[in-house]
């Protein structure tokens, strides 16, 4: 272990209380990006963050205004010949309601049982702070960093990052790096570090089926006209075959097959089917034939009905023949599926059903592309070593079934690998009352980052 690393590791231990106090201050700002009454609070949080970045020794600090909330930037670029990491995070937080369910006020951070409770503790102020403290440790003990860093912290992640992709495109040169590091996700479970190298994309739409001018009496008109609910049921049922496979023609055309290596690796970390079924409360797991549940969730595309409705939904029975039915569907996509092409295929499939007696229309929602980064890239493999050094346990490479469109944006616009190095836990109530962060992972996470920068400098 290099003296530089040893000193940095020692520094974060010595200064732990002061660093936690700093984080608590960061957490007192109610930087709720979704609510206009907090606009000034969000601005003040950006200023606090910029000051902190300046204080720890980052340079070129800048607060970039957007049409929404500002982006905070700083860098340190004096490690000649060494790799450059772009660190991304966000300083905005989710709303806190229902506030009555919080055991301690969301913007008055409190430590209970080894956990720090506050809105943003885990998502994502706590994880942003860990990065700053790791950088501070090197800069304060050694006067320099083992690598070059660019730090970009935005204030609109919780509202879908509307201004970030254009900002990255317009500032692609300024942001150019060898990799992007994002700490805004979770470990696989307690004590089990994981590096996520794949996320699914998203394509969603609403389907509306219309029949007569108004609702009809099912006695007086039953048998005369097509029932829009019946027509919608036909559409929705046609989306899958009996074995759970999506039956929209050409849906799987662009799906990149899973590597045998991935399938084997996932098998070792997947929960047992019956345990998972029991945990979720279902009689059995179910999905596309030929794939395990974890493969279906991480590596295969899906089409889900998120909601549907029409006609009488109250108590008892009403013999109405409704004139309208709606469903919302969304697809989780994998490389190399294109969200717009998938929506085209679904619309064409619905049109081909040629349902008589009704009018069908589709409305598209925002899409996101699937993300996959080469996990065998040395820069990503180095992250694995860093986790193992800090946690004393082999880190696993995972994909996730969810979608974080901004990750794919970074990867595509900058053309570099993205390491998703999360330190939260799935149980930490982000987006819910009593959000918290396990301090064990706060500490081990800072160590992981210190190890990572050290490893990268010697790669």
Per CB under 8 A, which region of 54-62, 73-81, 85-93, 356-364 contacts a copy of itself?
356-364
Which CB sits closer to a copy of itself, 54 or 363?
363
H or E segment to which residue 207 belongs: strand 201-210
> What is the Cα–Cα distance from 455 to 5, expressed in whole angstroms?
10
Binding residue for a copy of itself, selected from 240, 245, 263, 341, defined by CB under 8 A: 240
| Shortest Å, Cβ 49 to a copy of itself | 29
Q: How many angstroms separate the CA atoms of 83 and 362, rounded?
A: 47
Count of positions on this chain that bind a copy of itself (CB under 8 A): 81
Binding of a copy of itself by 138 (CB under 8 A): no
Residue 405, burial from CB neighbour count under 10 angstroms (0-12, 13-18, 19+): buried
Task: Choose which of 110, 206, 388, 440 interacts with a copy of itself (CB under 8 A).
Answer: 206
Q: 332 vs 369, which CB is nearer to a copy of itself?
A: 332
User: Shortest gap between Cβ of 178 and a copy of itself (angstroms)?
Assistant: 29
CA distance 39 to 46: 11
Least CB distance to a copy of itself at residue 19 (A)? 32
The answer to whether residue 280 forms part of the interface with a copy of itself (CB under 8 A) is yes
Q: How far is the CB of 383 from a copy of itself (least distance, A)?
A: 23
Interface residue with a copy of itself, options 358, 383, 389, 439 (CB under 8 A):
358
Q: Is 403 in the site for a copy of itself (CB under 8 A)?
A: yes
Say which residue the tokens 């969304």 belong to.
330
Q: Rule CB under 8 A: is residue 440 a binding residue for a copy of itself?
A: no
Q: Which of 227, 337, 411, 448 binds a copy of itself (CB under 8 A)?
A: 227
* Binding letters toward a copy of itself, positions 158-197, x by CB under 8 A: ----------------------------------------
- Both tokens of 275, joined, read 């345990």
Residue 281: which residues within 8 A CB-CB, separation 6 or more? none
Query: Of 112, 256, 351, 359, which one interacts with a copy of itself (CB under 8 A)?
Result: 359
Sheet arrangement for strand 110-112: 110-112, 115-117, 436-438
Inter-residue contact 434 to 117 (CB < 8 Å): yes
CA distances from 351 to 4, 150, 332, 345 (A): 65, 49, 22, 10
Intra-chain end-to-end CA distance of the chain, in Å: 14
How far is residue 97's CA from residue 241's CA, in Å, rounded to a whole number? Answer: 41
Q: Which is nearer to a copy of itself, 90 or 200 (CB)?
A: 200
Shortest Å distance, C-beta 38 to a copy of itself = 22
Q: How far apart are CA 141 and CA 291, in angstroms?
A: 51
| Residue 100 or 280 with smaller CB distance to a copy of itself | 280
x/- mask, a copy of itself, residues 287-326, rule CB under 8 A, reads xx--x-xx-xx--x-x-xxxxxxxxxx--xxxxxxx--xx
Nearer residue to a copy of itself within complex by CB, 22 or 299: 299
Residue 347: CB minimum distance to a copy of itself, A: 16
Q: How many CB atoms lie within 10 A of CB 100?
A: 6
How far are the Cα atoms of 22, 149, 152 from residue 60, in angstroms, in the given order? 22, 12, 12
């Amino acid at each position: 272990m290099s003296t530089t690393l040893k000193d940095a590791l020692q520094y974060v231990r010595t200064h732990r209380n002061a660093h936690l106090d700093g984080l608590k201050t960061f957490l007192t700002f109610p930087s709720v990006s979704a609510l206009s009454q907090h606009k000034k609070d969000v601005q003040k949080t950006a200023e606090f963050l910029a000051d902190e970045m300046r204080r720890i020794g980052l340079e070129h600090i800048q607060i970039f205004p957007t049409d929404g909330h500002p982006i905070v930037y700083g860098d340190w670029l004096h490690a000649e010949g060494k790799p450059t990491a772009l660190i991304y995070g966000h300083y905005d937080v989710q709303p806190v309601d229902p506030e009555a369910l919080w055991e301690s006020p969301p913007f008055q951070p409190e430590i209970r049982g080894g956990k720090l409770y506050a809105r943003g503790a885990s998502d994502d102020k706590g994880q942003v702070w860990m990065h700053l403290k790791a950088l501070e440790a090197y800069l304060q003990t050694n006067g320099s960093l083992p690598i070059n860093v660019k730090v970009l912290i935005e204030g609109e992640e919780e509202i879908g990052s509307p201004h970030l992709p254009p900002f990255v495109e317009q500032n692609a040169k300024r942001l150019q790096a060898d990799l992007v590091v994002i700490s805004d996700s979770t470990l696989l479970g307690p004590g089990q570090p994981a590096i996520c190298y794949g996320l699914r994309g998203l394509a969603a739409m609403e389907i509306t089926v219309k029949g007569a001018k108004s609702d009809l009496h099912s006695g007086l008109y039953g048998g005369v006209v097509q029932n829009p609910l019946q027509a919608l049921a036909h559409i929705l049922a046609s989306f899958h075959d009996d074995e759970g496979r999506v039956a929209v023609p050409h849906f799987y055309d662009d799906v990149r097959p899973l590597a045998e290596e991935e399938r084997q690796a996932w098998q070792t970390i997947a929960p047992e089917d019956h345990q998972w079924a029991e945990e979720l409360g279902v009689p059995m797991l179910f999905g596309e034939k030929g794939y395990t549940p974890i493969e279906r969730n991480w590596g295969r595309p899906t089409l889900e009905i998120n909601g549907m409705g029409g006609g009488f939904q109250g108590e008892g029975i009403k013999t109405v023949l409704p004139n309208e039915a709606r469903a919302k569907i969304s697809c989780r996509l994998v490389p190399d599926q294109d969200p717009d092409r998938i929506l085209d295929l679904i619309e064409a499939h619905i049109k081909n059903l040629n349902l008589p007696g009704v009018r069908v229309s589709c409305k598209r929602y925002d899409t996101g592309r699937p993300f996959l980064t080469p996990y065998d890239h040395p820069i990503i493999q180095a992250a694995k070593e860093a986790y193992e050094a800090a946690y004393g346990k082999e880190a696993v490479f995972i994909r996730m079934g969810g979608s974080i469109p901004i990750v794919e944006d970074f990867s595509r616009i900058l053309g570099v690998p993205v390491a998703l190095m999360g330190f939260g836990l799935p149980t930490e109530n982000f987006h819910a009352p009593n959000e918290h962060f396990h301090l064990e992972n706060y500490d081990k996470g800072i160590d992981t980052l210190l190890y990572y920068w050290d490893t990268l400098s010697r790669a």
